[in-house]
Amino acid sequence: MVTLPPPHAQRRTSFWKYLLLGPLLGLLFGFGILAWFLHAATQGVWDRVATVVSGRPLHIDTTQPTVVSRIQRLARLETVTYTMDKVVEGDREGRVLPEFLTGDKILLTVHGEAIAGIDLHQLTPADVQVSGSSVHLHLPAAQIFTVTLDDEKTRVYSRYTGILVPADPNLESEVRAKAEQDLRQSALAAGILNTAHQNACSTVTTMLLGLGFHQVDCS
């Protein structure tokens, strides 16, 4: 014969069971709602609310001195490279005797590049105007930083020296210097400075938009 506990004992057991399970289920439900809210908020329009709730407020300093400092950190901003491949000729001709006796001629196949950009160290506070979420900046003038010949790809194509004279040891270096001048002039004629300025504006604009500005005017 099985003896059942009195009805009042069963009621007490059920009471304590619900009393313990209720808060536990409430906590689990609350944590679930909070986790869902934070995930959804950080993915959409509620990101600011989620930031406050999560205790990690985001502050970006967009004051004028800070903007100037951030831009100047880019230092010498190289924004465009112009390359050139050509054959350059140099010679020395005798004043009296014909070339085959006293001439000296060299042909170089030249490969070089000119790199241009903007030296942002020259940026001054007067060049940056901040108004709320908008910023206007005037960049320093673009300039050609370097003009160099690639020694591995620049070589003597041909050399002819008259039978009465020795080869001039300085002729090749003079022709190389002339090739660098030609490269600089070709790059300028191709608009390398305008391209450098445009590319620099694009780079700086992207950086400033990342800082939180809504409108960037670069000139």
Q: Of 193, 214, 210, give the one whose Cα is nearest residue 80.
A: 193
Place of tokens 């010949």: 149
Reported confidence tier of residue 61, pLDDT bands at 50, 70, 90? very low
Mean pLDDT of 1-21: 52
pLDDT attached to residue 18: 54
Three-state SS at 138: coil
pLDDT attached to residue 39: 57
Q: Give the burial class of 24: count Cβ atoms within 10 A of its Cβ; 0-12 exposed, 13-18 middle, 19 or more buried.
A: exposed
Q: What is the average pLDDT value for the chain, to the nearest integer?
A: 76
Q: Is the pLDDT of residue 195 over 50?
A: yes
Q: Of 120, 146, 131, give the one whose Cα is nearest residue 62.
A: 131
Q: Is the pLDDT of residue 199 over 60?
A: yes
CA 100 to chain centre: 55
pLDDT attached to residue 194: 95
For residue 166, give Cα distances in angstroms to 73, 98, 127, 152, 163: 53, 15, 58, 26, 8
Query: Could you give the CA distance from residue 150 to residue 192 in angstroms, rounded to a whole number?
Result: 19
pLDDT attached to residue 45: 45
Tell which wins on pLDDT, 123 or 30.
123
Q: Of 177, 187, 189, 191, give the one whose Cα is nearest residue 88.
A: 177
How many helices (H) and strands (E) would you count in the chain? 6, 7
**92 token code pair:** 């020395």
pTM of the model: 0.64
- Which tens digits make up the pLDDT trace of 125-174? 889 898 888 889 999 999 999 999 998 888 888 877 767 767 778 888 88
pLDDT attached to residue 66: 61
Most confident of the following: 32-41, 103-112, 137-146: 137-146
Q: Dihedral angle at the C-alpha atoms of 106, 112, 118, 120, nearest 10 degrees?
A: -100
Reported confidence tier of residue 58, pLDDT bands at 50, 70, 90? very low
Mean pLDDT of 182-193: 93
